[in-house]
Every structure is written in C-alpha cells, then in structure tokens.
Amino acid sequence: MTESSEAKIWHEIASPFCGIASDDLTIKVEGNTVTVEENGDAVTKKGFETPITDLQPRINGEQVSLEQAVNHAAELLTQSKQPVIGGLATDVNGLRAAMALADKSRATVDSMDSDSAFRNILVLQDTGWMVTTLTEVRNRVDLLVVVGSDIEVDYPRFFERMVWNKESMFDQDIASRQVVYLGKAPSGDASTSPAGKKAQVLTCDDADLPEVVSVLRALVNGKQIQAEQVGGIAVADLAKLAEQLKQAAYSVITWASGSMTFDHAETSIQVLCEMIKELNAETRSNGLPLGGKDGSTSVYNVSSWQSGFPMRTSFNRGFPDYDPYLSDSKKMLANGEVDVLVWVSSFNVSRTPPESTTPTVVIGRSGMTFNQEPEVFIPVGVPGIDHAGRTFRGDSSVAVPLRKLRDSGLPSTFDVLSAIELAMPN
Amino acid sequence: MITKLTGGRIYDPAHGIDGEIHDIYVRDGRIVDAPVDGKINDEVDLRGKVVMAGAIDMHTHIGGGKINIARTMLPEDHAADVVARTELMRSGCGHAAPSTLTAGYRYAEMGYTAGFEPAILPINARQAHMEMGDTPIIDKGGYAMLGSDDYLLRMMAANNDQEAINNYVAWIINHTQAIGIKVVNPGGINAFKFNQRKLDLDEKNKYYNVSPREILMRLARAVKELGVPHPLHVHGCNLGVPGNLGTTLDTMEGIEGLPMHMTHIQFHSYGTEGDFKFSSGAAEIAESINRNKNITVDVGQILFGQTVTASGDTMRQFAGSPHAHPNKYVCMDIECDAGCGVVPFKYKDQSYVNALQWMIGLETFLMVDDPWRIFLTTDHPNGAPFTSYPHLIKLLMDKSFRNDTLSTLHPEAQKASHLATLDREYTLYDIAIMTRAGAAKLVGLADRGHLGVGGAADITVYTDNPDREKMFSKPDYVFKDGTMVVKDGDLINVTWGTTHVVKPEYDSSVEVELKKYFDRYHTQKMGNFKMSDDEIVDDGRGSLTVQPLHKGGKV
Ligand SMILES: [Zn+2]
C-alpha cells in the first residue's frame, strides 16, 4: 500500500472481486483510470479497470441530486409493505448500513449469490464440517480433490498461489502434490504442475455427482460396492481415490458451490463433508468451500453477527425471521410478493437486478447499464477503488483491508444507505 | 454539567470501601470531587441502594470467527429468543450465541460495562474487532492468541532468544489491537494439523520438537518483560480429559512464579476416581492456587441447559465432537495461525459428568480464598450464556439455594462431591472484587472497575434484594461513561464503548523477518495483516483507549 508520488502506483492491493482476495496486486491510477500492472487476471482486471460513467443519480431516467434520489428511495421504503434489500454485493460497512436499513424498513435481506452460498450454509446448519483456509492449503496440501467445479474460471490464481507455490513451510516436496478432478474436467492448464504433471480427471455428469460422491464415501469407509461403474467412472478408480485420501497426510477437498447448479447440490456437499469428518478419525483431511466473489462471504458474516442469521432473513415482523426458502428474493419477486426492491451492487457493473415490474432502487457501481431503467439509480463508488473498506475472503477467516485509490467523488454504499435510513421517519 | 449520586451504599474494593454510604459526583463521563461551590446540575437519589462500578467480564466470546460460525449454525437456538426492534434498539437474537447488538444491550441491562474477547486469532483480528465494534454500550478488547502459530514455533525451534520473542509478541499485540496474550492448548492446535491427537505438558510437537511447557515459559516471560499488565492467559492442555488435574497442577507449579492466568479452570480440574472414572480435583487445584500467588483463575462455571462450545482448541473440540447436541460441529485449521472448533452442547443435570462439572466449578469458587485472584465466568457461551451470571451469583451468595439445587442433581455425583459441606457465602464485597476491582486490575484497566476520583463513571446501582439473582438481573441504574443507559432494568440510552488496548514497544527490525515470512508462506501481505487504529475508530462510533503498561516493562 505504498504510493509513489507522480504516477500513483499502488502496491500490495487486495482484490475484492474474487473469493481468494489476492492482495499482491500492483495498480496504476491516473485520474480516474485504473490499470492492474502486476498479478492481474481476467477477474481482477475487469474489476479494477471498468471505467466510471455516471456520477449523477437518476429518478425514472431523469438526472437528480443525490439528496433527491435518497429522499425518493426513503419514501418508497416508507410506503412499502414488503421491501427486499437484495444483491448485497458490497463491503462490510455497506452491509452494516444495509442491515440497519432492513431493520428499520422491515425488509428482507438477500444476496445475489445466495443460491450458491446456501448450498454450503445448509450443510453448516445441518451437520457442520471440517474445513481449512488458503494459507494452510498453500503449505500443507498433499492431495487436492476438486469436486464438481472448474475452479480456474472464477478463481484464476488458485493453483498458482495455493498449490504450485514455490515452497512449503514444512519442507514438503511441492512437485509431489497430487491433484484429482472429480465431476467436471478443468477448462485450462492451471492445475498442471510447473513440471508438466497433469491433474488426474474422473469426469461424470453433474446429475451423477450425488451418486459418485456417495460411492466414494462408502469406499472410504471400507464398504463393498457391487457395481463396477458409477456415473461412467470405474469404481476401481474411485477405490483408488479413496485409498489416496486415506494415505494422504493433509488432503483438501475443494468445491465451488457456484458451479454446482444441479438440484439439491447441498446434499452432495454434505456427503463430502461427512466423508471428511470420517477421514479425520485416522488422518487429516479438510474441506475448502470456494466462494466469496463480489463480497458474498461478507454478507453472511455481517448478517449473522448483526441478526444471528445469514441472509434470507426478513425483518417484516419487527424481528429477524430466517427462512432460506420463503425469503429467497428471486422467488419473492417472481411471485409478486415484493413491493420495493433495493438492489445493492457496488462491485460488478454486469450484476444488475433481475427484471421485474417491482419498483426498484439500484445502488450500483458507476458504469452499470440497464435493459429496464430502475425507478431510482444511485451510482456509487467501488470499495477498494473509490473508498476504503474491508471484505471477507472466501475462506471467511481473513478479512482484507481495501484501500481508497482515487478521488472520484462517488459516495460509498454505506453513505447512501445510511442517508436513506436517516431520511425515513422513525 | 455535574451529576450528584446521592447517598448510595458503596462497594468499591479498589479503595477498600465495603458498604459505606457516600455521594459520588460525575462530570464529563468521569468521577470527580465534590464541587467546592456545591453547585450541581442534576441529582439521582440512591439512598438505600447498593452501588458498584460497572461489572467487567474478563473472558467472554463475543466477537470473531468462531462465535460467528456458532451464530450462523444455530438458527434453531436463536429462534427461541428473537428480539424485536424498539425505538431505541435494533432487533437481533439472544441465548447461546447472541447477535452483537443484543449482546451489548443485555450486558448493559445486567450492569456490565465491559467484556473481553479472550481468543482473537491474530489473522482474524479484523473480524473480531468489527463484531465488537457492532456491540453497543460496553467497552471491549481482547487477547491475541499465540502458541500454535507457526511463526512462534519456528522461532522457538530455531532457538531465538527471548528478546526476539518479546519483539514478536509486542508486534502482535500492537497490530491486532489487543490488550493481552492468550495461549490455547499450547502448541496443540498446531500439533493437530500434524495429526497429533493429544499433547501433554512435556510432549513435543512432532514437527517443531517444542513442548507446551516451553511455549508457556516463553510467552509468560514475554508478557511479563514487556510490562503487559494482563498475565499470560492460559487455556491449558487436555481440556475436558478425565485426569487432567495432574497436568493443570504441573502447569501452575511449573511456571516458576511468573504471572499466569488459568482460564476456565473447571474444565481442567478432573480426576479419574470412582466408578465413573471421573472425579473432582477442585480441592487440589484450589490448594495450589491458594499457595501460588502468581496464579489467577477464572472458573468457567457450567450451568444446565443448551449452549454451544466455541474454542480455539481444535484438537480437543474434535475429540469432543461425538457429544455434540444437536449433532453437528465445525472444526477449522486456520492460516498457519491457529484453529477453532464449534460444538453445540447440552449440559444435563441428570448426567453424572455434567452434574459433577457444575459441582467442581462451585467447589473451586468456594475453596479459593482470595477473591482478587478468581473471576466469575461461564466462559460464555462454553459453560453457559453470560445471561446466567445473576443465577451464578445467587449460587455463590446463598448457601441454602445452592444446596437445594445440589440435592436435585444426579445422586451419584452428589456423593462424589463435598460441595454440600462448604459453608462459604460470597459477600457483596467479594462479588464487587471478582466482577469489578479484581477484573479491572487483572485486565489492566487503570480507569475502570473502581469508583475513585478520576475513574470512568461506569456505575451500577442495585436494590438490595435477598434474592441475589433478582437483584443482579435488573439494576436500578447503569451509568456508562456518565450517561444513564439503564433505568429500572430497562435500556434508555444506547452509547458506544471504547476498545481497550496496550501498546508495548518493539524494535521495528522485527518486521524484516516477518515480511519475508508473509511473502514466502502466507496468502496475505504483512502490510494488510496489520490492523490500523483507524479501523477501530471506523465510522466514528468506535474509539481506542491505550492502557498503561506496568513499570519495568523492558523492550
Ligand atoms: Zn473461553
């Protein structure tokens, strides 16, 4: 986070756009133009380099002052019987303000990545899990199993930083690390070792993954399997993987719940998590749920500490009412249950609200365009570019500081949501 | 603006005041002398009331990763205690793992004005402080956890001198915004990552060849030599293991007179006698505490009912996971720094083991002579939620209530304990020591826990009720920094307390090696690990209070 005088070069900058929140980026800032100079990838470049367009809020497409837009949003919420504060892609302070506003306006809170997040949260709430974090993986993993996910698309630097790093603190021979894909095959070569060793790939259709992981768990537990194939994978190959897991000193099983889009994927994640617990009777093994892009790990953390419950919590009755099914904002919108939607999206201009006839207030990153102009649009700055902030990494243990890199004059999500709260009558 | 609190019966052990009647004057959040001109702006009549400083919880899990996991994983527990929004208060939830807002309100409503998170993983410090930053009214702070972090163990394996370790410890305290250092199952959380399943006091971590005893010595010396007032805060080896009594005694005797705080000692005071191979070691433990004046303890009393255990001790939490109720748990290895385990648990009065745990805690309270060296905790939420403190106070102050409760518990456990023969009843003065003056001294809060001129006006006023549970549940008034926040047991104002820290000096060259370590092995840069003061002050609601170091602290 050092700053050189004229060119404005920033070092050790963290990216809030991807769940591994790499914080070794070098960023150049000239006026409002931001360029990732070092350690960028497709996700972080888009995140940092998307230009600012609007500076002015709009009501029904007409430019207005920030105060007018805030008052209009407050009026909509005051009149609303069933508001939703959705999207929730922002930093911790933005989320704090969103929770305070939801409490006051009796809204339901939900995140744009809830479908993905709940595949994990439902497991956490039902049976729990044993999991690890990125630095542990970087130093300890000897067998990495990637389940149902092509992780390099959303986490381009995962292998570079956590698997094929130069050295381990514990003198491990990095080249001996093994990578196995179960389910989806990798789309690129990120998982291939520097020496050219390719990952082992056992592919099956998503639809067969529940059965495949159940058989793997049974094999880990020494059960006899009659079938020779499951989902197109030879049971002998799964038996070998089960043996590898038992022999490994520190295996890590990772999945990106965002790519596990089949029905009831949470039950497959649960089977994996129970298998990991069972492996720990003799050796060490851990899960690594990958997620957390655009601040989605921050959402359930802040929501949990402020209300006790993760998102999909309604304040309609004056107290937190958690229901991961009934308070799914997409379903609520589709069923016409929502009379005002406040959509918070301060990281990614392409993440706009779902189309609906519901009056909508967008607190969105400048540069956002709409097929359907929202009733209110308030362009805001990006946490980690236009204002300081904090975001949780996907593994949840680490919250990284985000720096203010330029002076665009755009308000923060916190500023706007707090102003709306203040503008509402008590 | 001077407020006079008139005629209360004062219990202020820091000044040796045991129930004397006198007035207190408050100006700008501080206790001041009586104005020479006699002019006051406001007066509160406290005649007939009991007056103490605001209570201080020196060990309560109120902020950070593990307690937030507990919150997320226990919707069924919250559902029974959801809290509605009022004009003054945000909505939230209570019971075992309350929301931050509700926790602050409920502490204040009980007359508590400070709480200290005892297990801040350095790598998770930012989260811990963000959660405490959303905890209203009470002051807060925390102890940074070391002892299973690879950086310390590498230094010890390389035989670095004490000076180097002191520098590292001071650096950690500064950059995690802590007020002390805690060690949890010394080296054991680390050993579990290498698949070791137990680590006794002299057993070696198999990678580093370092023992818990060595870790305790190094850290206890560092804390002492840096002048950090709070002694090394120790969650010992073998938590919950029948027979751990021997290790606990050895830990206390073996620290060679250095100041050391043994936390939730109840969980470390078990013998193996009797048919159940589980017995009370409280008498031996109390005898050792009474003899070793360098030792302080908090009890970690269990009370019956549903709760959740949340601990940095991954090794022991995993071992305890088969007892989870409801049947779910989380264990985590964290960032070559530490770990955590979250296991919901229900203490049952008809369980022999749980009943005896209850008795062991109370035996310890009653057999440790010096109330300045023993502290009232349930290790919230591990033994019970903090909201049960008034009940616990009644158990300590009221022998017949205690024995009536005892007589309803598992009959074999009753036979295994001599609790019924202990006649001691804590006095109001004892309670004021344990929960105020002693706690402030232990944590290192110069301006809290007492009612002397210059102290912060954190003041709790009770009606003297023979039912001590009722009395301590609903104070008449609570003042926080001079503002009346509770009246007749109800919250009337929401304020935001400060965060207490210490800032021991260190040689900045310590960062040369640390930076290399972060660059080579970590997934976060050293510069991003460090928490700035601004992050606590945040949106203007938080503030930092730097407490003084002990004299003779050498750096
Ligand atoms: Zn504790």
pLDDT digits (tens, 9 = 90+) for B151-186: 999 999 999 999 999 999 999 999 999 999 999 999
DSSP string, A11-26: EEEPPSSSTT----EE
Of B131, B330, B524, the CB nearest to A398: B524
Whether A1 shows a pLDDT value over 50: the answer reads no
The closest CB to that of B82, out of A14, A283, A319, belongs to: A319
Instruction: Note down the domain range covering B206.
Output: 53-499
Please give the mean pLDDT across all residues of chain A: 96
Residues of chain B in contact with residue A130, where contact means CB-CB under 8 angstroms, are: 318, 330-332
User: Which of B73, B328, B525 lies closest to A24 in CB terms?
Assistant: B525
Tell me which residue in A103, A310, A392 faces B91 most closely, judged by beta carbons: A103
Of B87, B207, B333, the CB nearest to A170: B207
Rounded Cα gap, residues B500 and B114, in angstroms: 10
From chain A residues 305-364, the ones with a CB under 8 A of any chain B CB are: 305-310, 315, 317-322
Which residues in chain B have Cβ-Cβ distances shorter than 8 Å to A129?
330
Give the number of A-B residue pairs with CB atoms closer than 8 Å: 195
Q: Comparing C-alpha atoms, which of A412, A320, A406, A297 is closest to residue A363?
A: A412
- Flag residues of chain B having pLDDT under 50: 555
- Of A344, A340, A311, the closest CA to residue A328 belongs to A311
Contact A426 B79 (CB under 8 A): no
Closest partner residue to B331 (CB to CB) among A130, A167, A414 is A130
- What are the residues facing B456 on neighbouring strands? B30
Q: Establish if B144 belongs to a structural domain.
A: yes
Q: Is residue B537 part of a domain?
A: no
Q: Crossing angle of helices A413-423/A66-79, nearest 10°?
A: 60
> Would you call A339 exposed, middle or buried from its count of C-beta atoms within 10 A (0-12, 13-18, 19+)?
middle
Nearest to B134 by CA among B56, B63, B79, B78: B63
Residue B20 lies in a domain: no
Question: What gap in Å lies between CA B113 and CA B481, rounded to an integer?
Answer: 9
The pLDDT value recorded for residue A2 is: 46
pTM over 0.95: yes
When divided into structural domains, chain B yields a total of: 1
The total number of residues shown for chain B amounts to 555
Q: Identify the closest residue of chain A to B527 by CA–CA distance.
A: A1
Q: Is residue B32 part of a domain?
A: no
Partner-chain contact A304 B68, CB within 8 Å: yes
Measured distance CA(B185)–CA(B201) in Å, rounded = 9
pLDDT computed for residue A18 by the predictor:
86
CA of B153 to the centre of ligand 1 (A): 23
Nearest to B72 among A124, A127, A286 (CB): A124
Cα separation, B17 vs B502, whole angstroms = 29
What residues have CB less than 8 Å from A290, skipping those under 6 apart? A19, A20, A149, A151, A154, A155, A158, A254, A255, A256, A257, A394
* Confidence check: pLDDT of A3 > 80: no
Q: Answer whether residue B159 is part of any domain.
A: yes
Q: Please, which residues bridge with residue A363 across strands? A: A344, A378
Distance B60 CA to ligand 1 centre (A): 6
Q: Does B65 touch chain A (CB under 8 A)?
A: yes
Rounded to 10 deg, the angle between the A92-105 and A413-423 helix axes is: 20
Residue A8 corresponds to which tokens in the numbers above?
């404005």
Residue of B72, B124, B340 to mutate when probing chain A, most A C-beta within 10 A:
B72
| Token pair belonging to A152 | 């390099």
B407 in a structural domain: yes
Query: Which is it for the CA torsion B228, B233, B237, B242, positive or negative?
Result: positive
Task: Give the whole-angstrom CA distance, residue B486 versus residue B476.
Answer: 7
Q: Hey, which residues 133-162 in chain A have their CB within 8 Å of chain B?
A: 133-136, 138-140, 161-162
Please judge whether A96 and B134 are an interchain contact, meaning their C-beta atoms are less than 8 angstroms apart: yes
CA of A33 from ligand 1 middle (Å) equals 48
Q: Is residue B473 part of a domain?
A: yes
Least CB-CB distance to B130: which of A92, A169, A304? A92
Chain-centroid distance, C-alpha A290: 8
Chain B CB contacts of A140 below 8 Å: 193
Distance from CA of B243 to the nearest CA of A (A): 23
Cis link prior to B381 (omega < 30° from 0)?
A: yes
Min distance A326 CA to chain B CA atoms (Å) = 15
Cα distance between residue A410 and residue A383, in whole Å: 11
Query: Could you tell me if A204 and A188 are in contact, meaning their C-beta atoms sit under 8 angstroms apart?
Result: no
Nearest CA in chain A to B85: A318
Could you tell me if A395 and A133 are in contact, meaning their C-beta atoms sit under 8 angstroms apart? yes
All structural domains of chain A, each given as residue ranges with its CATH number in brackets, are 2-44 (no CATH), 51-114+294-423 (3.40.50.740), 131-279 (3.40.228.10)
Contacts of A7 (CB under 8 A, 6+ apart): A28, A30
What is the identity of the amino acid at B226?
L
Pick the residue from chain A with its C-alpha nearest to B149. Answer: A136
* Amino acid B552: pLDDT: 63
Read off the pLDDT of each residue in A316-344 and give the average, rounded to a whole number: 97
**A249 interfaces chain B, CB cutoff of 8 Å:** yes
B 106-165 near A (Cβ less than 8 A)? 121, 123-124, 126-127, 130-131, 134, 150, 154
Tell me the mean pLDDT in the region A215-232: 97
Centroid of ligand 1 to alpha carbon of A77 (angstroms): 42
Q: What is the pLDDT of residue B553?
A: 56
Q: Tell me: the pLDDT tens digits for A370-389?
A: 999 999 999 999 999 999 99
Going from the C-alpha of A334 to that of each of A258, A328, A329, A423, the distances in angstroms are 21, 10, 8, 29
Compute φ and ψ for B331, nearest 5 degrees: -125, 145
List, for residues B528-555, the tens digit of each pLDDT value: 999 999 999 977 799 999 999 997 655 4
In whole angstroms, how large is the CA radius of gyration of chain A? 23
Cα–Cα distance for residue pair A129/A286, rounded to 1 Å? 8
Give the tokens for residue B293. 């004046």
* Ligand 1 centroid from CA B246, angstroms: 21
Does residue B544 belong to any structural domain of this protein? no
Looking at chain B from residue 73 to 92, which residues have their Cβ under 8 Å from any Cβ of chain A? Answer: 73-75, 78-79, 82-85, 87, 90-92
CB contact under 8 A, A308 and B130: no
Cβ density class A83-122: b for 16+ within 10 Å, e for less: bbbbbbbbbbbbbbbbbbbbbbbbbbbbbbbbebbbbbbb
